[in-house]
Amino acid sequence: MSWLYLGVAILFEVVGTSAMKMSDGMTRLAPAAVVVVCYGVAFLLLAKALRGMEVGIAYAIWSATGTAAIAAIGVFVFGESLTVMKMVGIALIVAGVVSLHIASGTT
């Protein structure tokens, strides 16, 4: 169940970060409210995930997966640039997450 909590926490974190981009420096009320709610839910779910996971593994996967997802959203939703170095970086992040998942010995 911890992995499910972690996965959903990551989704809320990614939605919250995307809303932060749309909030224009937290000056637009609706996106700013989405940021607050999503981050609150994300941290609650991360805390639940930590009941059954090592903090180092959970936090590394949380931050790496969120970073890779936001980089992709930046390109495909917000029209940000995609360079070879960004693609290599994202690939390395994904490889690291897979390695951590394997190293944790759980599914």
User: In this predicted model, what pLDDT tens digit does every residue of 8-35 receive, in sequence order?
Assistant: 999 999 999 999 999 999 999 999 999 9
Q: How many domains does the chain have?
A: 1
Q: Do 67 and 86 touch, CB atoms closer than 8 A?
A: no
Nearest to 74 by CA among 38, 34, 21: 21
Radius of gyration, alpha carbons of the chain: 15
Question: What is the model's pLDDT at position 106?
Answer: 63
Q: Distance (Å, rounded) from C-alpha 75 to C-alpha 69?
A: 10
58 close to 49: Cβ distance less than 8 angstroms: yes
* Rounded Cα gap, residues 72 and 13, in angstroms: 14
What's the pTM value of the predicted model, to 2 decimals?
Answer: 0.86
Domain that holds residue 35: 2-104
